[in-house]
Structure 1
């Protein structure tokens, strides 16, 4: 049996995106809006904060919570985070696809007003420095 090799297999594309061959690797994340992979430094991280944080947590089964989606430019906020290009087009795509609840694994209503204001107002910084 002859073994065939394929130039341009999926592994080589992944290695290139992660910076293989340059001696350093950088984290790669996926934008929840456009679904494009990019360096984490190019994307804005956001997290979900419970609006009714003073109330006890509702059960995971059948329970729903209202959450506020807030930007996390320092990338240090606790909890599950997701990433988005800091441009209005990706924000609109993510909202249209209802990607915020799925990405953050929350059941209930997601208030994206703080994230939207940060992106539309130009206040969305990519790093905490």
Structure 2
């Protein structure tokens, strides 16, 4: 019986997964903060905003784990999220939010690069060969 160790994800993909996990944790934290600061005059908006950010953060966390484990299914939602976040960064670019926009942009581009490198694509494509 061949018990070779499971292949380890390439470093760029692990970095992309870690950054995606950090994004997910940030969004979950934002959702929790939104829940903590609920007020009766905007209850409906606060609850839906909280639910959105909690769900979005949880999805990113789940996809980060999928990337780390070599799940090709996780690539598309993470790429889509990063593209959306680049658009958000563009909308924040200017005035006092320039630093926030730059941070969002840099992290999103780093995740996209980490996912799209040939070694990462090969690791994600070889999903059927892992046990």
Greater strand share, 1 or 2?
A: 1
TM-score range, shorter chain: under 0.3
Q: TM-score, normalised by structure 2?
A: 0.24
Bigger CA radius of gyration? 1
Higher relative contact order (CA 8 A, sep 6+): 2
Greater helix share, 1 or 2?
A: 2
